Amino acid sequence: MISADLYLLKPALICPEQLNTLPVELSLEEQDYWRGIRQPGRQREYLLGRVLLRRLLADRLHCRPDELMFCTNVHGKPALCSHQWQFNLSHSGDWLVLALCETGPLGVDIEMGLRRRQTLPLAERFYAESEYQWLLSLPEQARESAFYRLWSRKEAVLKAQGNGIAAGLDKVCFMPEEGWRLDNRLDEQSYQVQDWPLGSGWLSLAAPTLKVNGYQLDARLKSTPLGPMLIHTIFRESAS
């Protein structure tokens, strides 16, 4: 049975000494891009994301990490040039998450809600009318979390499809009162969408399967598998 793998990491846990050993694992093109990132936190996230991606895919494809070649698909989404394995990354606040699956579509997104926004005007403008009305029906104190839960789910689907937010948030419509059923107005593809609390926000995964294997990465980038019963609580626990 096909399953998706989720890897969760706090980049701040990685010490500078270890970070300094990682750039040699990037391709020359990746090294140039990494050096051009001026914001230290984003630079660190990019380095860790690409190194982990190469290591984890190489393990699955039984090759060396430096043998992997990346390109973009018809939607401009990064992909492996000669393999079907799908991958997607997201970062927000203190968190970096990497998703892998043998087949697609696959998209992952974190929304921590760190920037204070007037969520209702944004929802009225960018969400489907039914989603906006659902947010209006909620108690005021619950709206912000619900807004970001919707946003995270929508972005996961849009990233799986490949066009991202430009394809239209309103074309990915969820029905929270119907078990978060997806009304897909984007394409003919089937997306299985799940989400988990992550700190003060949400992490969402759109994949071709509901079977998810969770892994937690430590300060040495070693992964610890999580039992099936923990996958729905690990993100809440990891936030503490």
Digit-coded pLDDT (tens) for 46-105: 999 999 999 999 999 999 999 999 998 777 788 999 888 999 999 998 899 999 999 999
* Residue-range definition of the domain harbouring residue 220: 4-234
Greater confidence, 172 or 234? 172
Greater confidence, 114 or 175? 175
CATH of the domain at 111: 3.90.470.20
Task: Establish if 91 belongs to a structural domain.
Answer: yes
Task: Establish if 239 belongs to a structural domain.
Answer: no
Mean pLDDT of the residues in the chain: 91
Task: Establish if 72 belongs to a structural domain.
Answer: yes
Task: Establish if 204 belongs to a structural domain.
Answer: yes
- Quick one: pLDDT at residue 238? 42
Task: Establish if 107 belongs to a structural domain.
Answer: yes
State the total domains in the chain.
Answer: 1
**229 pLDDT more than 60:** no
Contact between residue 109 and residue 148 where contact means Cβ atoms under 8 Å apart: no
Average pLDDT over residues 201-228: 91
**240 pLDDT more than 80:** no
Assign 108 a pLDDT band (cuts: 50, 70, 90): very high
**14 pLDDT more than 80:** yes
Contact between residue 44 and residue 35 where contact means Cβ atoms under 8 Å apart: no
Token pair, residue 80, equals 């492996």
- Quick one: pLDDT at residue 228? 58
Task: Establish if 58 belongs to a structural domain.
Answer: yes
Average pLDDT over residues 11-39: 95
- The pTM of this model reads 0.92
Task: Establish if 124 belongs to a structural domain.
Answer: yes
- The amino acid occupying position 10 is K
Helix (H) or strand (E) holding 215: strand 212-217
Assign 200 a pLDDT band (cuts: 50, 70, 90): confident
Task: Establish if 190 belongs to a structural domain.
Answer: yes
Least confident of 2-6, 32-36, 114-118, 128-132: 114-118
